[in-house]
């Protein structure tokens, strides 16, 4: 299968240029640059995704509970997940089709919004769940429960529950730690917490995490991987737990987790103090 954000500049053109080389190595059973095709009857050994990390999230959402190993080609900006260039894809594709690769499985989650005991919204995600304050942008009190036990109440602009893959996204910007992508854990990071004692927390992925906002703002919402899942009413419970499917990323020789961190996040290793 081939996916891509065909609405982004240059993605459709680059994918079409590479199409003859792809079809030379593979039998293409689906070519979808709009993320609209029904995958329920599609059987494939791998998926090639063109774009950036946002394209990866869209592909993972489209595949849903039938995750296919992904070859990620970066045509965006950062490309933390989409790590291969178009040229590297051409070099690696024959080996990939010959089975010379490693599949790294990553944690995914299910998010449900429960209102008066009824599930009103649910989604499958890869990066993170965020409860955001919204208009009129006053501080929220967010209760965090783990396996039904109250952990603490955050006074903050929002709260993020992130997978290791998502730990280098919104959670990192909020001051959260970086978790190695194949760990089975969640990190909870408050956004602009109104206290010096609240810090990000890392806990096991096999627990159930619940976020409750007693008095949400008019525009408060639950956001999954950058998409609004639901608005919030008083007493809603946002439940996050490990999902059965795993996101499967194909890693070719020469790629490595810390190499990606150095190159994508600018870990130079030395301070450039300049001349005095």
Would you name the residues annotated as active-site residues? 53
**C-alpha–C-alpha distance, residues 26 and 29, integer Å:** 9
**C-alpha–C-alpha distance, residues 220 and 141, integer Å:** 12
In sequence order, the 6+-apart residues with CB closer than 8 A to the CB of 264 are 78, 79, 80
**C-alpha–C-alpha distance, residues 239 and 115, integer Å:** 11
Q: Dihedral of the CA atoms 53, 226, 245, 60 (nearest 10)?
A: -40
Q: Dihedral of the CA atoms 19, 23, 27, 30 (nearest 10)?
A: 10
Tell how strand 102-106 and strand 247-251 pair up. Answer: antiparallel
**C-alpha–C-alpha distance, residues 4 and 30, integer Å:** 12
Contact 48, 22 (CB under 8 A): yes
Contact 103, 250 (CB under 8 A): yes
Nearest CA-CA partner of 84 in 262, 251, 261? 251
> At 54, which helix (H) or strand (E)?
helix 53-63
Residue with tokens 């059987």: 43
Tell how strand 118-125 and strand 109-115 pair up. Answer: antiparallel
Q: Dihedral of the CA atoms 12, 227, 107, 158 (nearest 10)?
A: 140
């Amino acid at each position: 299968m081939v996916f891509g954000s065909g609405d982004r500049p240059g993605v459709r053109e680059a994918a079409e240029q590479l199409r003859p080389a792809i079809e030379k190595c593979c039998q293409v059973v689906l070519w979808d640059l709009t993320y609209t095709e029904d995958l329920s009857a599609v059987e494939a050994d791998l998926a090639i995704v063109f774009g950036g990390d946002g394209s990866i999230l869209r592909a993972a959402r489209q595949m849903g509970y039938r995750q296919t190993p992904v070859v990620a080609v970066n045509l965006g900006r950062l490309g933390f997940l989409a790590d291969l260039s178009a040229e590297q894809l051409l070099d690696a594709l024959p080996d990939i089709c010959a089975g010379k690769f490693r599949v790294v499985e990553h944690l995914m989650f299910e998010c449900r919004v429960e209102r008066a005991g009824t599930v009103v919204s649910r989604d499958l995600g890869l990066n993170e769940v965020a409860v955001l304050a919204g208009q009129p942008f006053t501080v929220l009190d967010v209760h965090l429960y783990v396996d039904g036990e109250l952990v603490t109440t955050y006074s903050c602009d929002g709260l993020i529950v992130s997978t290791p893959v998502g730990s280098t996204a919104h959670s990192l910007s909020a001051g959260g730690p970086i978790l190695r992508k194949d760990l089975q854990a969640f990190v909870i990071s408050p956004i602009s917490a109104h206290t010096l004692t609240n810090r990000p927390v890392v806990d096991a992925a096999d627990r159930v995490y619940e976020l409750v906002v007693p008095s949400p703002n008019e525009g408060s919402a639950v956001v999954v991987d950058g998409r609004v899942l639901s608005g919030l009413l008083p007493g809603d419970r946002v439940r996050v737990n490990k999902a059965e499917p795993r996101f499967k990323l194909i890693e070719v020789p020469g790629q490595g987790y810390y190499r990606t961190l150095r190159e994508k996040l600018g870990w130079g290793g030395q301070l450039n103090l300049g001349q005095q």
